[in-house]
Amino acid sequence: AQKVTQAQTEISVVEKEDVTLDCVYETRDTTYYLFWYKQPPSGELVFLIRRNSFDEQNEISGRYSWNFQKSTSSFNFTITASQVVDSAVYFCALSEANRGSTLGRLYFGRGTQLTVWP
Protein backbone atom coordinates (compact mmCIF):
# COMPACT_ATOMS: atom_id res chain seq x y z
CA ALA A 1 0.00 0.00 0.00
CA GLN A 2 1.18 3.49 -0.77
CA LYS A 3 2.33 5.19 2.42
CA VAL A 4 2.21 8.68 0.92
CA THR A 5 -0.41 9.76 -1.57
CA GLN A 6 -0.31 12.92 -3.59
CA ALA A 7 -3.52 12.78 -5.54
CA GLN A 8 -2.79 15.83 -7.67
CA THR A 9 -0.51 14.83 -10.51
CA GLU A 10 -0.37 18.25 -12.15
CA ILE A 11 -1.53 21.72 -11.19
CA SER A 12 -1.37 24.84 -13.34
CA VAL A 13 -1.91 28.31 -11.97
CA VAL A 14 -1.30 31.85 -13.08
CA GLU A 15 1.24 33.97 -11.26
CA LYS A 16 0.02 35.52 -7.98
CA GLU A 17 -2.59 32.82 -7.43
CA ASP A 18 -2.50 30.78 -4.23
CA VAL A 19 -2.09 27.04 -4.63
CA THR A 20 -2.38 24.13 -2.20
CA LEU A 21 -0.64 20.81 -2.72
CA ASP A 22 -2.25 17.88 -0.94
CA CYS A 23 -0.49 15.06 0.87
CA VAL A 24 -2.10 12.15 2.70
CA TYR A 25 0.00 9.61 4.55
CA GLU A 26 -0.49 6.25 6.18
CA THR A 27 1.50 4.82 9.08
CA ARG A 28 0.98 2.73 12.19
CA ASP A 29 3.83 4.40 14.03
CA THR A 30 3.03 6.94 16.70
CA THR A 31 6.31 8.72 16.03
CA TYR A 32 7.02 9.72 12.48
CA TYR A 33 8.29 12.63 10.44
CA LEU A 34 6.90 14.32 7.38
CA PHE A 35 8.87 16.25 4.79
CA TRP A 36 8.31 18.32 1.70
CA TYR A 37 10.88 18.51 -1.07
CA LYS A 38 11.00 20.55 -4.27
CA GLN A 39 12.50 19.18 -7.48
CA PRO A 40 13.13 21.89 -10.11
CA PRO A 41 13.84 20.88 -13.72
CA SER A 42 17.55 20.62 -12.92
CA GLY A 43 16.79 17.47 -10.93
CA GLU A 44 18.09 17.96 -7.41
CA LEU A 45 15.67 17.52 -4.53
CA VAL A 46 15.60 20.57 -2.29
CA PHE A 47 14.49 20.09 1.32
CA LEU A 48 11.72 22.51 2.34
CA ILE A 49 10.35 21.45 5.72
CA ARG A 50 10.27 18.71 8.35
CA ARG A 51 7.44 18.13 10.81
CA ASN A 52 7.27 15.53 13.58
CA SER A 53 4.11 13.70 14.53
CA PHE A 54 3.82 15.42 17.90
CA ASP A 55 3.81 18.94 16.55
CA GLU A 56 0.57 19.89 14.87
CA GLN A 57 1.28 23.59 14.75
CA ASN A 58 0.98 25.07 11.32
CA GLU A 59 4.12 26.67 9.99
CA ILE A 60 4.66 29.65 7.76
CA SER A 61 7.87 30.57 6.02
CA GLY A 62 7.53 33.52 3.72
CA ARG A 63 5.08 32.59 0.98
CA TYR A 64 5.06 28.93 2.07
CA SER A 65 2.80 27.46 4.72
CA TRP A 66 2.09 23.94 5.89
CA ASN A 67 -1.04 22.52 7.48
CA PHE A 68 -0.52 19.29 9.44
CA GLN A 69 -3.67 17.50 10.61
CA LYS A 70 -3.25 14.12 12.31
CA SER A 71 -7.01 13.57 12.40
CA THR A 72 -7.08 13.36 8.60
CA SER A 73 -3.46 12.15 8.14
CA SER A 74 -2.73 15.09 5.94
CA PHE A 75 0.20 17.45 5.54
CA ASN A 76 -0.77 20.03 2.96
CA PHE A 77 1.48 22.70 1.49
CA THR A 78 0.26 26.12 0.37
CA ILE A 79 2.14 28.61 -1.76
CA THR A 80 0.74 32.12 -1.51
CA ALA A 81 1.08 34.53 -4.42
CA SER A 82 2.79 31.94 -6.61
CA GLN A 83 5.68 32.91 -8.85
CA VAL A 84 7.09 31.40 -12.04
CA VAL A 85 10.14 30.24 -10.07
CA ASP A 86 7.86 28.02 -7.99
CA SER A 87 7.36 25.78 -11.02
CA ALA A 88 8.72 22.37 -10.02
CA VAL A 89 7.69 18.92 -8.88
CA TYR A 90 6.87 18.86 -5.18
CA PHE A 91 7.24 15.68 -3.16
CA CYS A 92 5.80 14.82 0.20
CA ALA A 93 7.72 12.15 2.17
CA LEU A 94 7.33 10.11 5.34
CA SER A 95 9.96 8.71 7.70
CA GLU A 96 9.00 6.19 10.37
CA ALA A 97 10.78 6.01 13.69
CA ASN A 98 10.51 2.28 14.31
CA ARG A 99 13.72 0.26 14.22
CA GLY A 100 12.64 -2.30 11.68
CA SER A 101 12.82 -2.63 7.96
CA THR A 102 11.69 0.94 7.34
CA LEU A 103 14.67 2.41 9.11
CA GLY A 104 16.56 5.03 7.16
CA ARG A 105 14.22 5.25 4.24
CA LEU A 106 11.98 8.03 3.09
CA TYR A 107 8.68 7.04 1.54
CA PHE A 108 7.86 9.50 -1.19
CA GLY A 109 4.58 10.33 -2.84
CA ARG A 110 4.47 10.37 -6.64
CA GLY A 111 4.87 14.13 -6.67
CA THR A 112 2.79 17.04 -7.93
CA GLN A 113 4.00 18.95 -10.98
CA LEU A 114 3.26 22.62 -10.37
CA THR A 115 3.39 24.97 -13.32
CA VAL A 116 3.05 28.68 -12.69
CA TRP A 117 2.33 30.74 -15.81
CA PRO A 118 3.31 34.41 -16.09
Partner 1 sequence: EAGVTQSPTHLIKTRGQQATLRCSPISGHTSVYWYQQALGLGLQFLLWYDEGEERNRGNFPPRFSGRQFPNYSSELNVNALELEDSALYLCASSPYPTENQPQHFGDGTRLSIL
> Binding of partner 1 at residue 27 (CB under 8 A)?
no
The CA distance from 61 to 82, in Å, is 14
Binding residues for partner 1, rule CB under 8 A, total 27
> Binding of partner 1 at residue 44 (CB under 8 A)?
yes
31 vs 58, beta carbon nearer partner 1: 31
**Contact with partner 1 (CB under 8 A) among 5, 11, 24, 33:** 33
Q: Across the strands, what pairs with 22?
A: none
> Binding of partner 1 at residue 70 (CB under 8 A)?
no
**Contact residues for partner 1, defined by CB under 8 A:** 31-33, 35, 37, 42-47, 50, 52, 91, 95-97, 101, 103-111
